[in-house]
Structure 1
Amino acid sequence: MDNILLIFLNDLQRIDEFNKIINEFDRREYKMYLYDNIRSEDFDFSQLPDIVEYYKKQHNNVNKIVILSNLRDLTFAWYRCYNSIVDDFVYFIDEEGNNYFDINDRHFDFYYNLYEFNYVEKETIEGKIYLNKEDEKVLPIYYEQKYFDFFSEIDLFNKIEKKSLNKKYTYSGFEYCFNSNKGDRWENIEIGKINKRIVFFKGQSQYDVLRVGTDYRAKFYKQLGFEVYILDLLEPNVVSKINTDIINKKCDFIYSSNCIGIDIKLSDGRNLYDTLDIPFLGTLGDHPVNQLSRIINSPQKTLFTCIDEENIEYFKKYFPSKKIILSNCSGYPAANYAEKKFNEREIDVLFAGSLIDPVEIKKSWDKLDEKFRLIINYLSDLAIKEKFLINIDDEISKFLLKHNIINDDFGCRALIHSQVERYVRVYKRYELVKKIGESDLNIVCLGNVEEYNKLNKSGKLIIKSKVDYKSLLEMMNNSKMVLNITGHLYNGVTERVLSAMINGAVAVTEKDRFTNKYFKDGENIILYDLDTVIDKIKYYQKNINELEKIALNGQREAMNKYDYRISICTFIRHMKSL
């Protein structure tokens, strides 16, 4: 009797480890068939019964049919809706969590509930999903051990005789039918809302970016079926609302951008969330050094997220007991996002950001101790001299060691770090505006008008007062190019770059570690250094067709990998491990 292995892959990365699994099937003489580059736009997952039937007809006598895939959501969804036509499912946990379902699909909320096993206890499930390694974060929200095992435990010869079963799911007023092509026996499963309540904190943020981002996230979680409540810490009667909506109501976890509200204490000094045993998800939008107090005073069950790989090492060094994960920065579409012809976008080049003369930053250091000024000046000059931003914390250690300076004061290191980081960001932005202000480019600049006017030597810059974040997104949606700097990140990308791309503009940004590795200059992004930025902008203004191709490619790349909804789909599973 023949055994069949059907392989469904997309962007396989751990090739050697995957081949070891393939060798196990090969040793047992499985007939193997590969479907590669599986994507929702060109592969219909409901074809599985036809695929299975096709390959069964190619063999006279079939014993087992096994599916192997590195697509988590597809494997878990198939395990439920087509459970009776496949004997075993193997999910290969790859370097990155590859997924199949399109987050923009109008039925994504159903697929999410399906592959996260919501209401799975209501249906007939036989057999298991076998994993190549232990990794809690890949397990579904509603995990039960009986559905999973390790690949080492799979029986590649003997099979469970499954009864033919078609399935019909009812969710949010829709019916989803999955015909297994085996008999007329149907099982009806009604999937209700997800029985989890999330409280989002909102507070002060520059340009309202964190507040708007919180609204976007809360709305999406609600669409997925979670109960959601937003607590605005800037509104009156906050204490009363904390009592009503956190202390006296079920709360599965708190979600807070930049860890706002993480250090709320009771009158006796105890941390509110430790007392209530509520997990806290705190996202860090900039370096941890800027949120030290919140990190130090965080509750025991806290999960931090960061957008820069260097931040992970920083936590390991200074906060080894704290839990942090990397979650690449995300972008947001304009609330009134509109598809439009590229040549009809009214703004050629857009740049936004407050402008400060770096000389003023250096003047502020005069109040510091002389040795601090020495270190900050040295590291600031070093950071500017280097092509990519230095690892500031490592350089502080090197400097102290070289000059035999003994200083174990964590606060002093943090002060030095934050000042260097701020100066580099301010310096790069100032030098960029000075450069474009001397050119003959008509660039729309949003910020403090008086400072911009000082650098507008050509008189060509179109300078406007800063706008709120929602308005900025709308302007991106009406721009051909969005100019940007990434001066404060060691190995990460800013929201500004990704939001520009998602809104259909071309991101024109610095060449750095992250953009050089994950994007392609001239294909889905435009990368510059200070010597090339003017010429590059002028070139693409004259070659609008090339620019439009970059915009389309960039938008596709950003929406597939950096849409704000993608990362937050995984946070729920991470919170289970706290």
Structure 2
Amino acid sequence: MNIVIYKGNFQYDVVNCFAEELGHELMKLGHNVYILNLVTMSHNKILAILSQNEIGLVLSFNGVNFIEQKIYEGLNIPLGILFVDHPFFHVSRIRAYKGNMTFYCMHDEGFLNSFEECIAEDVPIAWLPHGGTEIVSDESIEKTYDIIMPGTIGDYIQLEKEILNLELDILKRIAINMYEKGKQNYNIPLYHYFKEEIFAEGIELYRLRKDEDFLNAFSYIYTLVDRTLRARNRYRIIKALVDKGLKVHHYGNLANTELKAHKNIITNGPLNYIDLVKEMKRSKFLLHDISYFENGSHERVLTSMLNRTLVLSNNNNYCNNMYIDGENIVYYDMNNLDTLVEKTFYYLEHEDERKVIEENAYRITKQYNTWGSRAHEILNIYNAFLKMKR
């Protein structure tokens, strides 16, 4: 089959690496894959490839695209949109490409529920976790860092002000209540709090599906609260460790002035993804935080495991709960950061136990959670989509 995968202009180049890896894995399965960069190719050139090569499937991460939805319909080409964020971040693209030839994939099963309840209930959707990236080297790489933390750390104080400055009272009330609940208990999906507050205001979720303005407004406050909680919690977990004398190497945008000035934080700014993976490989621990999943995934977790770096993650449900605390991952409780400090020191002092966890994580991730695994899964989703259409 001829398959097109789009690359584009993303905040971080990791998403384009996803496209490259998935494309190469599909090639290994015998498919002819065109990996097209929307930044450097013209609309007409892409249209010519779509119309002249009997394309069987187009894949787009986060819906990056500039070919009109009607073109896919006219050429009878299925378009698979693979979200790497919550669908509330991409409402406009969902709306733009909704059609008979489109299906959507999300990396947390909970996202599927929010999609059907709030965005659209008559659209084909599927669960597709992230995959991990392994850097293979003949040379032994020394673990020169104790802790690495990649990812954006925003200014949560400024984000809190944005919540407080929301103009409509109902939006402000819902956002504040969601934020306070998320601060008190981070071990529950944010969407649970979202629904509680929506229902408390007497609003039925179907109104979001039916009213574009409702959906835009409420998806905005969801994403604002999500970003604020993540910024606050990433600040908290780093500070909990550096205040105990541990050094943390951070890669990514850092907007928190207190952390920038801390003597135990080594700030490096954004780094291209492959170089970042090499830095992960040099670290004993990956420090990780992400909003609580129902059944989700994250590429940094899986990539660290494939490069034999122990993952310190907030309590979560990764990939059908195949990752077990103390066996192939180490979980800390965001509601009690003493657990993070204690476990970090413990596994720094007990290298043999750390290496056992790293090896267990490597084996299970290599078997189930690479981009090769995802290539098989996306083809299964594609075939199910075609069967449904027939």
- TM-score, normalised on structure 2? 0.88
Instruction: Tell me what 2:71 maps to.
Output: 272
Which of residues 121, 124, 136 is equivalent to 1:320?
Answer: 121
547-556 or 367-376: which moved more?
A: 367-376
Correspondence for 1:348: 146
Q: Which residue of 1 aligns with 2:6?
A: 201
Task: Pick from 426, 432, 442 the counterpart of residue 237 of structure 2.
Answer: 432
Q: Contact 2:131 / 2:299 at 8 angstroms: preserved in 1? A: yes
- 1:249 Cα shift? 2.3
Pair 1:401–1:527, CA change in 2 (3 A): closer
Letter matched to residue 320 of structure 1:
E
Q: Which residue of 2 aligns with 1:545?
A: 352
2:55 aligns to what SS in structure 1?
coil
Letter in 2 for 1:219: H
Tell me the distance in 2 between the aligned counterparts of 1:390 and 1:488.
5
Question: Aligned partners of 2:8 and 2:374: how far apart in 1?
Answer: 22
Task: Say what the alpha-carbon RMSD is for the aligned residues.
Answer: 2.3
Percent of paired sites with the same residue: 24
- 1:354 is displaced (CA, Å) by 2.0
**Which residue among 343, 352, 374 is the counterpart of 1:567?**
374
Mean Cα displacement is larger for which, 438-447 or 512-521? 512-521
Asked if the contact 1:285/1:307 (under 8 Å) is kept, the reply is yes
Map residues 326-365 of structure 1 onto 2, 5 A cutoff: 326-334=127-135, 337-338=136-137, 344-365=142-163
**How big is the shift at 1:458?**
6.0
Q: Which residue of 2 aligns with 1:251?
A: 55
Q: CA deviation at 1:339?
A: 5.7
Normalized per residue, the structure richer in helix is 2
Aligned residue identity for 2:131 = S
Residues 257-289 of structure 1 show CA distances to partners (whole Å, capped at 9, x for unaligned) of 11211x632xxxx62101111001111111111
Aligned residues: 372
Secondary structure in 1 matching 2:58: strand
Opposite residue 228 of structure 2, the aligned amino acid is Y
* In 2: Cα distance, 1:561 partner to 1:436 partner: 32
Summarize deviations over 1:33-79 as a string: whole Å, max 9, x none: xxxxxxxxxxxxxxxxxxxxxxxxxxxxxxxxxxxxxxxxxxxxxxx
Counterpart of 1:417 in structure 2 is 222
| Counterpart-to-counterpart distance in 1, 2:255 and 2:102 | 43
Question: Looking at both structures, which has the greater relative contact order when contacts are Cα pairs under 8 Å and sequence separation is at least 6?
Answer: 2
Matches of 2:44 and 2:320 in 1, distance apart?
A: 49
Asked if the contact 1:388/1:490 (under 8 Å) is kept, the reply is no
Query: Which ranges in structure 2 are unaligned for 5 or more consecutive residues?
Result: 209-213
Deviation >6 Å, runs of 4+ = none
Q: Distance in 2 between matches of 1:483 and 1:400?
A: 33
Deviation at 1:370, TM superposition (A): 2.7
* Residues 358 and 250 of structure 1, relative CA distance in 2, 3 Å threshold: same
Alignment check: 8 A CA contact 2:295 2:321 kept: no
Following the alignment from structure 1 to structure 2, what is the Cα–Cα distance between the partners of residues 225 and 401?
A: 50
Q: Which residue of 2 aligns with 1:442?
A: 247
Residue pairs, 1:55-204, within 5 angstroms? 196-204=1-9
Distance 1:385 1:490 in 2: 18
2 CA distance for matches of 1:428 and 1:460?
18
Residue 95 of structure 2 corresponds to which residue in structure 1?
A: 296
How far the C-alpha of 1:214 sits from its partner, in A, is 0.7
Shift of 1:233: 0.8
* Contact 2:293/2:317 (<8 A) preserved: no
Residue aligning to 2:258: 454
Q: Which residue of 1 aligns with 2:178?
A: 379
Given that residues 438 and 457 in structure 1 are in contact (C-alpha distance below 8 angstroms), is that contact kept between their aligned partners in structure 2?
no
Gap change, CA 1:516 and 1:560, over 3 Å in 2:
closer
The TM-score, its normalising length taken from structure 1, stands at: 0.61
Deviation of 1:328 after TM superposition, in Å, equals 2.2
Per-residue CA distance 1:281-333 (angstroms, 9 max, x = gap): 11111111111122222231222111111122223324221111112222111
* Contact map agreement 1:308 1:328 (CA 8 A) in 2: yes
Q: Distance in 2 between matches of 1:561 and 1:306?
A: 17
The offset of 1:435, in angstroms, is 1.6
> Residue 437 of structure 1 contacts residue 455 of structure 1 at CA under 8 Å; is this kept in 2?
no
